[in-house]
Amino acid sequence: MSNINIVQNRLFRKVFTLILLAIFLVLSIFIFKATQLQKQSIIDSLQLEAKTMADGIVYLNKDSMVIDNQIKVLEFLIDFVQVNKQIKTIVLSRKDKESLLIKKNAWEMVNDLTILYTKSHLKDRNYEIVKSPFIEQTVFKYTYPIYFSSILWGWIHIDLSLDEYNRKINTMYEQFVYFASIMLFTALLLSYFIARMVSSPIVKLNEITNEISNGKLNIRVDIKTNDEIGTLADSFNKMVDNLELSQKELKKSHDELEDRVKDRTLELEETSNKLTLLNETLEQRVNDEIAKRQKQEQLLIQQSKLAAMGEMIGNIAHQWRQPLNALSLVLQNIHFSYKMDELNDEFMDKSIKKANLLTNTMSKTIDDFRNFFKPNKEKKEFLLDEVVSKSITLIESTFKHSNIELEYSYEKLINIFGFPNEFSQVVLNILNNARDALLENKIENARVIVNTKMDKNFGYVIIRDNAGGIPNSIINKIFNPYFTTKEEGKGTGIGLYMSKTIIETNMDGKLIVENVDDGAEFIIRVPLVKVENEK
């Protein structure tokens, strides 16, 4: 078959198109991913360079900054900017004081920084590509917070030139265009040869099949390859040989037809007997199949429980972040005190007690989550204000770090009968959600108010925030399993569902939410000890 005929064949065109599209898709994904990784690599190198500069500035000027020797710091920064060609500007912002702006050939004191700089003060470390308001150029802005003895002193904003970044990006795009052109040409050739190799023998088989279907049993397929196509051609030729032989034996078979019909009749009778026996045992087989299906359903239920445990593990990781951060601060304080030659027995004892408290809290968190899945859990009496206070202690440092005011007022001697650890987890879940909502909505004067109270039969925990409330379209869905409004990877949608299960199923209480004023209010209602005992 000629190349023109094979190219015009529909099978060839389909195979060619599919292979080409597959290669093109793989190539596109590879180029896209490679481009993203290369860009991120360039950004990471700039970030590392800026961080190294910031670390060096703080390390060399630590003493001058602590004693507020601005002249010495200014002289150092002017020399530092002149020596480093990559640096466009440096802004040194002292907390609650004027900022110092250093350019290549000038410096000045700035009273109010633009929001471009102040918004990055809310983050631990921040870098982005922006247009600098001081030199009217696009720069790589890196913000570095300065801490002394775990106290925030201020920030360094380093603006780096993007010349090297742009050069690397342009070089990268040129290389990818050249690479893509070569790969596209290669893909066209590869697709053509693969499509031709695959479709050519199949087209030949199709032509021979059409000839044989018209009664020409004297032709054979001439395909000699050491693959499945060659095996298929040999099998096809054998089939034609057998067909030709069968035609010759047809007359003989006709003579034997009557005997074969009798044999077939006997076989049908035997089959009928087997069907009768099958019908008699059908009910038992159906029952067996139902039992098998029920067993499979139980397995699915168990798998569902294991999936829920996986969600709980994610929540454990979330609950560990704050104790781990606090433990890290304890270690840093010990290290700093050691360097400052201020380390003594009293400080070490206090630090060790705090570290032990944090690790015990982390261990207790695992026990709390593990107990959630244990059957036949025993309830016990506990004071409502003690459990709420413990929950607030675990989370208050993250609230302070996020500039969120946390107010707590309570009534003493509210005695509850239930599961204190699970109840503490409910309070933590609601407080975490309130914190996330305040940060996501960027609320100024962010505030969360917690108070406890009681009436004749119930104890109450009321948690209110000023994050703007919950949209009416979803407020009835927030307790559904796996429902979340957070970005992918930042929420499982299981926290509030688990909280409602703990309060309403395990403790015979009620968990409700409603919008009030400028935020949302969660109300936890649980029976008092005397009510539980009467039941």
Please report, for the domain that includes residue 361, its CATH number.
3.30.565.10
Q: Is 268 exposed, middle or buried (0-12, 13-18, 19+ CB in 10 A)?
A: exposed
Tell me the range of 234-243, 282-291, 454-463, 525-534 where mean pLDDT is highest: 454-463
CA distance 433 to 442: 14
pLDDT > 90 fraction of the chain, expressed in percent and rounded: 9
pLDDT tens digits along 273-293: 777 777 767 777 777 877 775
DSSP structural state of residue 379? P
CA distance 424 to 390: 8
- What is residue 329's predicted lDDT score, i.e. its pLDDT? 84
Domain boundary among 118, 146, 168: 168
CA 426 to chain centroid = 23
Whether 463 has a pLDDT exceeding 60, the answer reads yes
Residue 526: count other Cβ atoms within 10 Å of its Cβ. Answer: 24
Whether 34 has a pLDDT exceeding 90, the answer reads no
200 or 324, greater pLDDT: 324
CA distance 245 to 248: 5
- What is residue 533's predicted lDDT score, i.e. its pLDDT? 44
pLDDT tens digits along 339-348: 887 778 888 8
pLDDT > 70 fraction of the chain, expressed in percent and rounded: 75
- Which amino acid makes up residue 523? I
Whether 308 has a pLDDT exceeding 70, the answer reads no
Domain boundary among 138, 168, 198: 168
**Region 119-126: what's the mean pLDDT?**
61
Tell me the pLDDT band of 353, cut-offs 50, 70 and 90.
confident
Whether 462 has a pLDDT exceeding 90, the answer reads yes
Residue 150 lies in a domain: yes
**Region 386-399: what's the mean pLDDT?**
82
Residue 518 lies in a domain: yes
Contact predicate 199/126, CB 8 Å: no
Tell me the pLDDT band of 461, cut-offs 50, 70 and 90.
very high
Domain boundary among 137, 168, 199: 168
- What is residue 511's predicted lDDT score, i.e. its pLDDT? 93
From residue 438, give the alpha-carbon distance in Å to each of 261, 395, 446, 448, 518. Answer: 86, 15, 6, 9, 11
Average pLDDT, the chain: 78
Please report, for the domain that includes residue 156, its CATH number.
3.30.450.20
- What is residue 307's predicted lDDT score, i.e. its pLDDT? 44
Whether 233 has a pLDDT exceeding 90, the answer reads no
Residue 273 lies in a domain: no
The pTM (predicted TM-score) of the whole model is 0.37
Residues facing residue 126 across a β-bridge: 143
Residue 235 lies in a domain: no
Residue 501 lies in a domain: yes
pLDDT tens digits along 69-112: 888 888 888 888 888 888 889 988 887 777 888 888 888 888 77
pLDDT tens digits along 412-459: 889 998 888 888 888 988 998 899 889 999 988 999 999 999 998 899
- What is residue 221's predicted lDDT score, i.e. its pLDDT? 63
Residue 186 lies in a domain: no
Number of domains in the chain: 2
Can you give the length of the chain in residues?
A: 535
CA 307 to chain centroid = 16
Contact predicate 450/392, CB 8 Å: yes
Residue 126 lies in a domain: yes
DSSP structural state of residue 109? E
> Which range marks the domain in which residue 88 is found?
14-168
Structure tokens at 125: 């470390």
Residue 212 lies in a domain: no
Buried b (16+ CB within 10 A) or exposed e, 493-509: bbbbbbbbbbbbeebeb
- What is residue 146's predicted lDDT score, i.e. its pLDDT? 86
Whether 46 has a pLDDT exceeding 90, the answer reads no
Run of H or E including 464 = strand 458-465
- What is residue 297's predicted lDDT score, i.e. its pLDDT? 40
**Region 20-25: what's the mean pLDDT?**
81
